[in-house]
Amino acid sequence: MKTLARAACILAVACILGFGIYAIVPRPAAVAPDGVSGAAPTGNSASANGAVGNAERQSNTATPPRPVRGNGNGAGHGNGSVSGIVSLAVTLAVFLFVYVVVAFLSAFIRRRPKLGA
């Protein structure tokens, strides 16, 4: 029971902070179905029809999307120029570097004789 209450407390803090973060960051502009930013046309009013016309014109004249270089694994992150294994190795290397430096500094500071001792 106590553990559940603690877990609920952690989740409550996480939810409050999470919604706070979500509220702070600005919302993205509405996107038209054809991928053009702007007010999404919803009604039959003149302005809405105008928005459709604008959207269509822009989508016709817009530059075609650049081909995405992928590594074919369906990851969908980045351009795929760095393989997954290299990415994993770099992540591990950075982590280990920070870990070793901090561990060394921490041990060094602990062993240092205190002034006046």
Partner 1 sequence: MSGRNKTRTNLFLDIAIFLAFVLVLTPRATGVAIHEWLSIAFAACIVVHLLFHWEWIIAVASKLFTRIFHESRLDFAVDLLLFLDVLLIMVSGLAISKVALPTLGIQIPFSVVWKQIHGISAKVALVLAGIHCGLHAKWIGYNAKKYLLEPFVRLFRRRTDGNAISEVK
Binding residues (CB under 8 A) for partner 1: these are 3, 6-7, 10-11, 14, 17-18, 21-22, 25-28, 30-31, 71, 73-78, 80, 82-85, 87-88, 91-92, 94-103, 105-107
Buried residues in 59-69 as b, exposed as e (16+ CB within 10 A)? eeeeeeeeeee
Compute the least distance from the CB of residue 69 to partner 1, in Å.
Answer: 13
Compute the least distance from the CB of residue 48 to partner 1, in Å.
Answer: 19
CA distance 28 to 24: 12
CA distance 5 to 11: 10
CA distance 108 to 4: 40
Compute the least distance from the CB of residue 29 to partner 1, in Å.
Answer: 9
Compute the least distance from the CB of residue 68 to partner 1, in Å.
Answer: 14
Closer by beta carbon to partner 1, 46 or else 113? 113
Closer by beta carbon to partner 1, 49 or else 87? 87
CA distance 117 to 113: 7
